[in-house]
């Protein structure tokens, strides 16, 4: 599956910048292509391995970093975990991202995105009342990590679904750029 990468190395391709761009401003044709392929490789990993995959950056209450980049592609490698200091990749922790699940379902709804959203269902009603960052890939247990970024993206995804367009164009009189559906025609 073709993706873009930074030839300088130390690149981090996660869902985050693509989902925020889509939710907030909308994608142009090239951005929609990259977004569709970024989601598609995550689904492809699931079909190949049986591991639900929804990768992005998140706070995860796992020492020593507590904030990780779960990369679709990072520093020349697919599906690795990176830390704040680029180039130091790990195999864990691996989680299914709640915010990415909500955002991809809003932007490019499919059977897969719906299924992933269902797989993080337990994070919606954490005992604290907050939505956790996700569930661990291997166990399906909640990360029990909360941050405002997750709540903000989930709310943005809900607003996008309700409005049917990027948030920048929330007024009905505003003209949005091409939506993902329009970009595929």
Block mean pLDDT (10 aa), the chain, length 185: 65 92 96 95 96 94 89 87 79 92 98 95 68 92 90 96 90 59 47
Report whether 158 contacts 167 (CB < 8 A).
no
pTM of the model: 0.87
Q: Which of 95, 73, 180, 175 is nearest to 143 (CA)?
A: 95
Q: Which of 16, 105, 9 is nearest to 57 (CA)?
A: 16
Three-class DSSP category at 182: helix
What is the C-alpha separation between 16 and 2, in angstroms, rounded? 18
Q: How many CB atoms lie within 10 A of CB 12?
A: 19
What is the C-alpha separation between 57 and 43, in angstroms, rounded? 18
CA dihedral 25, 52, 91, 99 (to 10 degrees): 30
Would you state the pLDDT for residue 151? 92
Would you state the pLDDT for residue 183? 47
């Amino acid at each position: 599956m073709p993706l873009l990468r930074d030839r300088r190395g130390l690149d981090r391709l996660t869902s985050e910048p693509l989902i925020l761009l889509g939710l907030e401003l909308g994608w142009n044709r090239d951005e929609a292509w990259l977004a569709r392929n970024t989601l598609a490789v995550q689904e492809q990993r699931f079909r190949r391995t049986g591991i639900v995959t929804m990768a992005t950056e998140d706070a995860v209450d796992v020492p020593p970093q507590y904030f990780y980049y779960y990369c679709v592609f990072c520093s020349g490698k697919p599906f690795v975990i990176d830390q704040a200091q680029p180039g130091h990749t790990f195999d864990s922790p691996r989680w299914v991202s709640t915010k990415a699940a909500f955002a991809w379902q809003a932007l490019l709804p499919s059977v897969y995105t719906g299924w992933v959203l269902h797989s993080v269902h337990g994070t919606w009603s954490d005992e604290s009342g907050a939505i956790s960052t996700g569930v661990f890939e291997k166990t399906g247990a909640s990360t029990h990590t909360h941050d405002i970024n997750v709540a903000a993206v989930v709310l943005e995804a809900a607003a996008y679904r309700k409005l049917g367009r990027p948030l920048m164009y929330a007024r009905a009189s505003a003209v949005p750029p091409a939506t993902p559906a329009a970009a595929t025609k």
